[in-house]
Amino acid sequence: MSDRLAKLKETLAQLNRLYMISELLYWDMRTIMPEGGFEGHAEATEHYQTEAFRISTSDELYELLQELSAPEEWEQLDDDWRFIVKTMREEQERDRRIPEELFSRMVAAQTASERAWEEAKKNSDYSIFAPHLEKLIALTREVKSYTHPELEIYDALLDDYEKGMDSATIDRVFGELKEGLVPLVHSILAAEQPDDTKFRVTYDLDAQRKVQKLLLTYIGFDWSKGTVGESEHPFTLDLSATDVRVTNHFREDNAIDPMFSAIHEGGHAIFEQNVAPKLAGTVAGGCRYLGIHESQSRFFENILGRNINFWRPIYADVQKLQPELADISLEEFAREINHVRASMIRTAADEVTYCLHVILRYEVEKAIFREGVSVAELPALWNRKMEEYLGVVPANDAEGILQDMHWSDGSFGYFPTYLLGSIYDGMFLEAMEAELGSVDELLAAGRIGEIRGWLNRNIHQYGSTRRPKEVLREVCGREATAEPLLRYFREKYKKYYNL
């Protein structure tokens, strides 16, 4: 190993420590910290994130990366390290253009805004959050004008979350999907709905925690490299590839949503736990592309988890842990987890209307950044679109514009990655079945490990070394298309709704 590569590894160790501390502070803040800890955690978070930013944009690192790119050094690097050096250079050249003072303002604004959003949501009072949102939008535009001067603003936002993806491609695939889904959802909502009375009981919370443990274990979550917590909104976070954490939010009136949150976050965690160890602690360790990441959480949650065959080997055990399900047959359970409703809340939405929730958010974001729609107009715009796509109108802003935390930390351009994930899933399912045969049969036989193995081999191990469009080409041999997902939806709902 050259001295310069050794030096880069040292810098990465230093940066990783700072990232780990920031993640630990975030984890603690969201899962357990009392109110009185806020000030100290916020101050420390800002400090360590600023320190990481300073190192990652330093002249010293800049020169080191230049030197490693010179022919005599470059020749000694293997493909992974070439990817790492190239990616770090690209990101650094972008980040170095952000004035340090602007970055600090952004971090401080995010922290304050996250808190305001929590307060606003609790009181269903958009006016508490609106000034923070406006500030974040302005700061985001300012940051992007430094980092991506060459890109149209919405493409610049996407670039952070799904490298190489562009709004033209998204417009095309979301368009294909919307065209097929709107009539499908309308037929489903007009069809006879299953009776869900038996599910409306009070579910023991501790039993739900035990069911989560069973589900995570079953899908292959590695407990020696991960743990669980509870927070307002479920999330997955990694302190390192060997310390990957998921949260959930349990409620007495609903035991099913938390099961699917567990499987969803478990899917994210399994990705992180299975990246090749040689990539650990670099920009290639872990997956940085949120659409690809989301494709894995949603593959576990929907493609596997909402399939009746997923439950055949474990349903009796789940019933034992959660006795409120004792009188509900596997068929009734499967029917309910595929129950389509015109609901207000994205995270509680069924698999198919979920797509429309995301398309709505994508359109609202384009309205903000492209059409200059004002912050004051957003609640009404949101509500109009809800009525148009799902035929329902939020009763208040807590179940409307305030429902998601994403905009509270300035994550604009993030939402479309959820739907890209599902679109990729249709494509992955097709490719997987071509190789392994019927997923229904594998699941029914409890051979979920083979499915996970396929995902590990084809997707997880590469971490970030393959970019999204490259993953699709390598794994599916084609460009992004919504066609397999649409076909999957049509087949599934034909069966459940006699369409």
Closest approach, Cβ 285 to a second copy, in A, equals 13
In sequence order, which residues have a C-beta less than 8 Å from that of residue 58 and are 6 or more positions away?
A: none
Among 3, 6, 35, 491, binds a second copy (CB under 8 A): 35
Which residues 39-78 are close enough to bind a second copy by CB under 8 A? 39-40, 43-44, 47
Alpha helices, DSSP H, located in 304-408:
308-311, 315-321, 330-336, 353-369, 378-390
Is 491 near a second copy (CB under 8 A)? no
In sequence order, which residues have a C-beta less than 8 Å from that of residue 296 and are 6 or more positions away?
A: 267, 268, 270, 271, 287, 421, 455, 459, 460
Closest approach, Cβ 44 to a second copy, in A, equals 5
Q: Cβ of 238: how many Cβ atoms within 10 Å? A: 24
Dihedral (Cα; 294, 417, 232, 334), 10-degree rounding: -50
Which residues 1-30 are close enough to bind a second copy by CB under 8 A? 16-17, 20-21, 24-25, 27-28
Among 105, 115, 172, 225, binds a second copy (CB under 8 A): 225
Number of residues that bind a second copy (CB under 8 A): 31
Among 54, 190, 191, 223, binds a second copy (CB under 8 A): 223
Stretch 189-218: interaction string toward a second copy, x if CB under 8 A: -----------------x------------
Closest approach, Cβ 124 to a second copy, in A, equals 23
Phi, then psi, of 403 in degrees rounded to 5: -65, -35
Please answer whether residues 373 and 381 qualify as being in contact, where contact means their C-beta atoms are separated by less than 8 angstroms.
Answer: yes
Nearer to a second copy by Cβ, of 243 and 363: the residue is: 243
Residue 265 is among the residues annotated as catalytic for this protein: yes
Distance of CA 212 to the CA centre of its chain: 19
Among 229, 313, 379, 453, binds a second copy (CB under 8 A): 229
Among 11, 123, 124, 240, binds a second copy (CB under 8 A): 240
Nearer to a second copy by Cβ, of 33 and 367: the residue is: 33
- List the catalytic residue out of 23, 73, 162, 265: 265
Stretch that binds a second copy, among 188-196, 219-227, 309-317, 373-381 (CB under 8 A): 219-227
Beta-bridge partner residues of 254: 251
Beta-bridge partner residues of 251: 254
Task: Report the alpha-carbon distance of residue 84 to residue 474 in Å, rounded.
Answer: 20
Task: Report the alpha-carbon distance of residue 466 to residue 424 in Å, rounded.
Answer: 14
- Choose among 312, 308, 313, 316: nearest CA to 334: 308
Active site residues: 265
Residues that bind a second copy (CB under 8 A): 16-17, 20-21, 24-25, 27-28, 32-37, 39-40, 43-44, 47, 206, 222-227, 229, 239-240, 242-243
